[in-house]
Structure 1
Amino acid sequence: MATHENLWLRSERQGTRGPKPSFSREALTEAAIRIADAEGIEAISMRRLALELGAGTMSLYRYVSGKDDVIELMIDTAVDGYIPEGTVMSGDWVTDMRDLAQRSRQTMLRHPWLAPLAANRQQTGPNRFRLMEETLAIFDGLGLSPDRMLTVVGSVIAYVNGFVQSELAYAEAMRRTGLDMRQWMALHTPFIESMLATGRFPRFARMTAEAGRELVGSDARFLYGLDRLLDGLKSDMPPRPPA
Structure 2
Amino acid sequence: MTAKREPISRRERPAKPALTRRGIVDVAVRVMRSEGLEKVTMRRLAQELDTGPASLYVYMASTAELHAAVLDALLGEVEPSTDPPGIDWREGLVAVLTSYTRLLFEHPQLARSALVARPSGANYLNLVERLLLLLSRGGAPREQVAWGVDSLLQYATATAAEHGTQERKPMSQDDWDALTRAAHGVDEAEHPMIKAHLPTLLSGTQDARLSWGLNVVINGIIHTPVPDTTG
Cα distance change, pair 147–222 in 1 and its aligned pair in 2 (3 A): same
User: Which of 51, 56, 64 is the aligned partner of 1:56?
Assistant: 51
Query: 3-state DSSP class of the match of 1:31?
Result: helix
The equivalent residue for 1:226 is 214
How many Å apart are 1:192 and its aligned residue? 3.5
CA–CA separation in structure 1 for the residues paired with 2:131 and 2:176:
42
CA–CA separation in structure 2 for the residues paired with 1:168 and 1:153:
22
Structure 2 unaligned regions, length at least 5: 1-13, 226-231
Cα distance change, pair 120–236 in 1 and its aligned pair in 2 (3 A): closer
The equivalent residue for 1:126 is 122
**Partner AA of 1:216 in structure 2:** G
> Identity, % of aligned pairs?
19
Contact 2:89 2:138 in 1 (8 A): no
Contact 1:37 1:113 in 2 (8 A): no
Q: CA offsets, 1:199-242, max 9 Å, x none?
A: 523433455x62478x43211111122233334445579xxxxx
How many Å apart are 1:101 and its aligned residue? 1.4
User: Which of 199, 206, 219 is the aligned partner of 1:210?
Assistant: 199
Contact 1:82 1:104 in 2 (8 A): yes
Cα distance change, pair 142–28 in 1 and its aligned pair in 2 (3 A): same
Aligned length: 209
CA–CA separation in structure 2 for the residues paired with 1:69 and 1:139:
29
CA–CA separation in structure 1 for the residues paired with 2:221 and 2:193:
30
How many Å apart are 1:24 and its aligned residue? 4.5
Q: CA offsets, 1:15-55, max 9 Å, x none?
A: xxx9441664334323323433454432221222234x352
Structure 1 unaligned regions, length at least 5: 1-17, 238-243
Cα distance change, pair 126–193 in 1 and its aligned pair in 2 (3 A): closer
Cα distance change, pair 184–112 in 1 and its aligned pair in 2 (3 A): closer
Cα distance change, pair 46–141 in 1 and its aligned pair in 2 (3 A): closer
| TM-score calculated relative to the size of structure 1 | 0.65
Query: 3-state DSSP class of the match of 1:121?
Result: coil
Cα distance change, pair 27–157 in 1 and its aligned pair in 2 (3 A): same
Cα distance change, pair 211–137 in 1 and its aligned pair in 2 (3 A): closer
CA–CA separation in structure 2 for the residues paired with 1:139 and 1:185:
35
**Partner AA of 1:106 in structure 2:** R
**Partner AA of 1:179 in structure 2:** M
| TM-score calculated relative to the size of structure 2 | 0.68
